[in-house]
Amino acid sequence: MRILQVCAEIFPLLKTGGLADVAGALPSALQDLGGDVRVLLPGFAPILEGLEDASLVAELVPPGALGTAPARLLHGRLGACNTEAYVIDAPGHYRRPGGPYADGTHQPYPDNHLRFALLGWTAAQLAMGLDPRWVPELVHAHDWHAALAPAYLRAAALTHQGPLPASVFTVHNLAYQGLFDGRHFAELGLPDHFFAMHGVEFHGQLNFMKAGLYYADRITTVSPRYALEIQEPEQGCGLDGLLRDRAHQLFGILNGVDEAVWNPATDALLSATYSAAQLAGKARCKAALQRELGLRKAGRAPLFCVVSRLTEQKGLHLVLKALPALIEQGAQFALLGSGDAGLEAAFAEAAHTHPEAVAVRLGYDEPFAHRLIAGSDVIMVPSHFEPCGLTQLYGLKYGTLPLVRRVGGLADTVADTRLETLDHDATGFVFDAFSADGLLQAAARALALYRRKADWTLVQRRAMALPCGWDVPAAHYLALYRRLVT
Ligand code: ADP
């Protein structure tokens, strides 16, 4: 089956969060199961630089204001991602200093609606045969950046002779919707009647995410529990009604771990490799990490870590509040993150106050994320909401027990450690109340287990042995595609 994946970022070329990890791993996993996969991406500099053997597919002639900057479609191979790709080379839209979505001062680009409408529109052109040598049978769009693909496909169906591919839209985070002033709708070249409650309009605004949710043939999200949560007002971000209406076409498929990238037995970024059977290397990773961070070298002090975007979603103010009590009980703490200036300053201050027990590295650092997760004992993910979460999965895989809030994909992937679960399925520490007290109660269980070496190792080995590759989720996606492609 010819499958077109449409997304805005892809590991290892361009990554701002978990979306890139998924986009980087899913194509290979689908190919392993026999899928014929290509990825469509905007021509951001790192993506164009990663495109090998590029050839011109077509000059693009987009409608409305999308066509204000010249654009052409290239085909080639993204060797680093092990996939064939189409890349939209439109320097006016995508070649800018700053990030893919916002400038150097974190201000979203004012023409983001055009930049990402072009992505969705181009997907629909490919679906209509823009590259006659490869016409997709299924279009799979990811998050709001690609969410207009199903809308343009639906619009194409109004005039196109012959069959068009089915579409799947995956929500990686419902909180980021791509909301724009309603007047911009006229610039997109979509039929007028699409700007309606039954369409892309959202309380007078233009909502890309809603377009994906409304027009895609099937909707998926990245964990079964999040699929249920987003149908309720609390986590539905205003779109829960639409999601309830489409409940029978909405599925939760858990993300996997790319074991070519995240595997302690083969990870070349670590000072020592290790496995569930041979854990000695993990102690060496911890000692090296404590040295690197200037923490007191204490094998017996449990080391808690966080690797995260610093945003309200991630619940890190709970960690800040809990930190003095954690240190008081002999724990150490290390954080890698960037984002909210207030949180950055508060964590830096904590490290300044407790240099022997707290280390903070602000910024984005992929190799250090590996060293930090491998060298720590516990990884904390106390999110307010969490569609899937990947760092707790990396924690499981690296024997760094996750301490998580019981929400979204965190609840689906971590089993709490209690007396009755210790010999059964315990893999981490789970709490309910979104409070520092809730977190501290789970931390108390982590500290107690840490003092019981044999029990700790039992849970650690179980966590490391959990199957978490991309083979299972890819099989679920393929089964979903097959039901749509007759
Ligand atoms: P989200 O997509 O909401 O940011 P996920 O847990 O799904 O959260 O994915 C986050 C990804 O980004 C993980 O691969 C994590 O290791 C990585 N990451 C987050 N912050 C940093 C950072 N400061 N440096 C390196 N990697 C980071």
- Per-residue pLDDT tens digits for 19-43: 999 999 999 999 999 999 999 999 9
Q: Which residues line ligand 1 (CB under 6 A)?
A: 17-18, 21, 307-309, 336-338, 364-366, 369, 388-391
Q: Which of 144, 267, 308 to mutate to test the pocket of ligand 1 (most atoms within 8 A of CB)?
A: 308
Region 67-96: mean pLDDT is 96
To 10 degrees, the CA torsion angle through 30, 34, 36, 42?
A: 10
Q: Name the class of domain 280-465.
A: alpha beta
Region 292-315: mean pLDDT is 94
pLDDT of residue 297: 85
Q: Is the pLDDT of residue 471 over 90?
A: yes
Helix (H, G, I), strand (E, B) or coil at 289: helix
Pull the structure tokens for residue 339. Answer: 């984002």
Pull the structure tokens for residue 263. Answer: 């595997």
pLDDT of residue 463: 98
Q: What is the spatial distance between Cα 369 and Cα 390, in angstroms, rounded to a whole number?
A: 12
pLDDT band at 298 (very low <50, low <70, confident <90, very high): confident
Q: What is the percent of the chain where pLDDT is above 90? A: 97
Q: Where are the domains of the chain?
A: 2-256+471-485, 280-465
Q: What is the spatial distance between Cα 160 and Cα 43, in angstroms, rounded to a whole number?
A: 27
Q: Which CATH architecture has domain 2-256+471-485?
A: 3-Layer(aba) Sandwich (3.40)
pLDDT of residue 40: 98
- Residue 51, C-beta contacts closer than 8 angstroms, at least 6 positions apart: 74, 76, 77, 78, 85, 87
Q: How far is the CA of 389 from the centre of ligand 1 (A)?
A: 8
pLDDT of residue 158: 95
Q: What is the spatial distance between Cα 28 and Cα 256, in angstroms, rounded to a whole number?
A: 12
Pull the structure tokens for residue 222. Answer: 């990245």
367-384 pLDDT tens trace: 999 999 999 999 999 999
Q: Pairing mode, if any, of strands 71-78 and 51-60? A: antiparallel
Q: Is the pLDDT of residue 300 over 90?
A: no
Region 440-463: mean pLDDT is 97
Q: What is the spatial distance between Cα 227 and Cα 177, in angstroms, rounded to a whole number?
A: 16
pLDDT of residue 338: 95
Asked whether this chain's domains 2-256+471-485 and 280-465 adopt the same fold, the reply is yes
Region 196-209: mean pLDDT is 98
173 and 143 Cβ atoms separated by less than 8 Å: yes
Q: What is the spatial distance between Cα 328 and Cα 387, in angstroms, rounded to a whole number?
A: 33
- pTM to 2 decimal places: 0.97
168 and 217 Cβ atoms separated by less than 8 Å: yes
pLDDT band at 486 (very low <50, low <70, confident <90, very high): confident
330-346 pLDDT tens trace: 999 999 999 999 999 99
> Could you please report the per-residue DSSP string of 374-419?
HH-SEEEE--S--SS-SHHHHHHHTT-EEEEESSHHHHHH--B--H
Q: Is the pLDDT of residue 251 over 90?
A: yes
- Residue 483, C-beta contacts closer than 8 angstroms, at least 6 positions apart: none
Q: How far is the CA of 64 from the centre of ligand 1 (A)?
A: 36
pLDDT of residue 344: 98
Q: Is the pLDDT of residue 299 over 80?
A: no
pLDDT band at 319 (very low <50, low <70, confident <90, very high): very high
282 and 264 Cβ atoms separated by less than 8 Å: yes
Q: Measuring from atom 20 of ligand 1, which residue has the nearest CA?
A: 308
Dihedral of alpha carbons 99, 253, 261, 295, sign:
positive
Q: How far is the CA of 204 from the centre of ligand 1 (A)?
A: 33
Identify the weakest region by mean pLDDT among 146-155, 259-268, 298-307, 422-431.
298-307
Q: Measuring from atom 24 of ligand 1, which residue has the nearest CA?
A: 364
pLDDT band at 141 (very low <50, low <70, confident <90, very high): very high
172 and 224 Cβ atoms separated by less than 8 Å: no
Ligand 1, closest atom to CA 336? 23
